[in-house]
Amino acid sequence: MKTYRIASIPGDGIGIEVIAEGEKVLRELARKDGGFALEFTPFDWGSERFLKRGAYMPEAPLEILKKFDAIFFGAVGSPDVPDHISLWGLRLPICQGFDQYANVRPARVLPGITSPLTKGNEIDWVIIRENTEGEYSGSGGRVHKGLPDEVATETSVFTRKGVERIHRFAFELAKKRPRRHLTLVTKSNAQRHGMVLWDEVFYEVAKNYPDVRTDRQLVDAVTTSMTLKPSTLDTIVASNLHADILSDLAAALSGSLGIAPTANLNPERTFPSMFEPIHGSAFDITGKGIANPIATFWTASMMLEHLGEAKAAARMMSAIEKVTARKVFTPDLGGTARTGDVTAAVAAAL
Ligand code: IPM
Ligand code: MG
């Protein structure tokens, strides 16, 4: 029997709560499936560690993580640490260091859930986010700190290689979806260097995919398409920051940020990929037992898919959908269920 070794990094806030639930449900699923096992190794890498010991991770963290088949990640962020420190202390070094360049963010209105849009049921999107460069490259600096002449730069970096591989990934994914439609999100009208390269390379790659229909929308305009004409979109490829913003909109339009999953993929499988709910540490509801574990369960399904357990992944999704159809909802979805109630319902539905 195949045993997958999973590194669990619950991190901060509700990340700690939902990863525990995710492990429970995954264990239950593996037991019922009978064809594979999961071995979780926990890591206490998070803001508490940082505050006590001055670092989010030990030295050479990637050497440690590289032995695992996948990383199951909760959230990072604490009211006691500036966000840019926590993010660059834990999550981004893993995404960049493991070349997890394809960030996949599906959005769908699950059964029983009401979208704030009247046409909400037409939402069936996958946003593909470039995940290692662009606006999040980390390139830039500050000079004359604290002086009146202080200057800060934040340089977006678009490399031909980085742009090409994310577009290729997006076309491959779009090709496998029923509608075979890929929307290029851009801002090349105003951002005349990086975004122009972004567009050019998209159309070069498109030549290899004559069966995928494409269109091109400016990032501001696509927000209106998402809201007013959701059915006109299918697969969407966008830069790191653009997709960050669009994916929150997508999550809200699908009913709640509490259900939105994501996969940080290293498609070549040179390094492990990382799977996480999008919602973040949510300190306002930490410790209350009301965090929605659905995003983590959906994330777990994506992890199983990546590991090659497609049958188990589908089983997880259908259990989730049975539970949402019965409206076992935490408060973010308008219900009164607690985290543990949703977990129990999903485990039973498996
Ligand atoms: C996300 C999050 C992160 C991001 C935050 C926590 C920095 O919003 O995964 O979408 O912007 O990448
Ligand atoms: Mg975000």
What does the pLDDT read at residue 120?
A: 78
Per DSSP, the three-state class of 238 is strand
Does 50 fall in a domain? yes
Distance, CA of 65 to CA of 209 (rounded, Å)? 35
What does the pLDDT read at residue 345?
A: 98
pLDDT in tens, 293-315: 999 999 999 999 999 999 999 99
Which chain residues have CB less than 5 Å from ligand 2, an ion?
Answer: 244
* Domain shared by 125 and 242, yes or no: yes
Spell out a b/e string for 37-69, using b for 16 or more CB atoms within 10 Å of the CB, else e: ebebeebebbbbbbeeeeebbeeebeeebeebb
The parent domain of residue 239 ranges over 115-254
* Amino acid, res. 312: A
What does the pLDDT read at residue 346?
A: 98
Angstrom distances, CA of residue 142 to CA of 132, 149, 265: 22, 11, 32
CB of 344 within 6 A of ligand 1: the answer is no
Q: Which of 9, 47, 84, 87 to mutate to test the pocket of ligand 1 (most atoms within 8 A of CB)?
A: 87
Q: Where are the beta strands (DSSP E) in the chain?
A: 2-11, 36-42, 70-75, 102-108, 124-130, 134-143, 151-157, 181-186, 213-218, 235-238, 261-265, 273-277
**Residue 113: both structure tokens together:** 């859930």
Count CB atoms within 10 A of the CB of residue 326: 12
CB of 85 within 6 A of ligand 1: the answer is no
- Sign of the torsion angle spanned by Cα atoms 104, 87, 51, 49: positive
Does 294 fall in a domain? yes
Does 259 fall in a domain? no
Does 130 fall in a domain? yes
**Ligand nearest, relative to CA of residue 262:** 1
Strand 261-265: give its sheet, edge to edge.
36-42, 2-11, 70-75, 273-277, 261-265, 102-108, 124-130, 235-238, 181-186, 213-218
Distance, CA of 91 to CA of 73 (rounded, Å)? 9
* Domain shared by 336 and 293, yes or no: yes
* Domain shared by 119 and 245, yes or no: yes
CB of 12 within 6 A of ligand 1: the answer is no
* Domain shared by 80 and 9, yes or no: yes
What does the pLDDT read at residue 147?
A: 97
Does 136 fall in a domain? yes
* Domain shared by 207 and 300, yes or no: no
* Domain shared by 90 and 182, yes or no: no
- Which residue minimizes the CA distance to atom 7 of ligand 1? 87
Please state whether beta strands 70-75 and 102-108 pair in parallel, antiparallel, or not at all (unpaired).
unpaired
- For residue 244, the ligand 1 atom closest to its alpha carbon is 10
* Domain shared by 316 and 207, yes or no: no
CB of 89 within 6 A of ligand 1: the answer is no
Distance, CA of 120 to CA of 111 (rounded, Å)? 11
* Domain shared by 205 and 226, yes or no: yes
Distance, CA of 3 to CA of 6 (rounded, Å)? 9
What is the pTM (predicted TM-score) of this model? 0.96
pLDDT in tens, 176-212: 999 999 999 999 999 999 999 999 999 999 999 999 9
Count CB atoms within 10 A of the CB of residue 211: 8
User: For the chain, give me the number of helices (H) and strands (E)?
Assistant: 12, 12
* Domain shared by 230 and 299, yes or no: no
* Domain shared by 227 and 337, yes or no: no
Residue 276 CA, chain-centre distance (Å), reads: 6
283-287 contact pairs (CB < 8 A, 24+): 283/13, 283/77, 283/78, 283/79, 285/14, 286/13, 286/14, 286/17
Taking the centre of ligand 1 as the mean of its atom positions, its distance from the CA of residue 169, in whole angstroms, is 21
Last residue in a domain, options 223, 254, 285: 254
**CATH number for the domain harbouring residue 204:** 3.40.718.10
Does 108 fall in a domain? no
**Residue 207: both structure tokens together:** 């030549």
Q: What share of the chain is helix, strand, coil (3-state, %, to 5)?
A: 45, 25, 35
Taking the centre of ligand 1 as the mean of its atom positions, its distance from the CA of residue 244, in whole angstroms, is 6
Distance, CA of 181 to CA of 178 (rounded, Å)? 8
Distance, CA of 241 to CA of 132 (rounded, Å)? 11
- For residue 76, the ligand 1 atom closest to its alpha carbon is 6
As a residue count, the chain comes to 350
* Domain shared by 128 and 242, yes or no: yes
Q: Which of 101, 129, 239, 244 to mutate to test the pocket of ligand 1 (most atoms within 8 A of CB)?
A: 244
Angstrom distances, CA of residue 195 to CA of 101, 148, 158, 186, 326: 17, 32, 8, 6, 44
CB of 234 within 6 A of ligand 1: the answer is no
* Domain shared by 161 and 246, yes or no: yes
Q: Which residue ranges of the chain lie beneath pLDDT 70?
A: none
Does 306 fall in a domain? yes
Total structural domains within the chain? 2
Last residue in a domain, options 208, 224, 254: 254
Last residue in a domain, options 254, 272, 292: 254
Does 107 fall in a domain? no
Q: Are 108 and 102 in contact (CB under 8 A)?
A: no
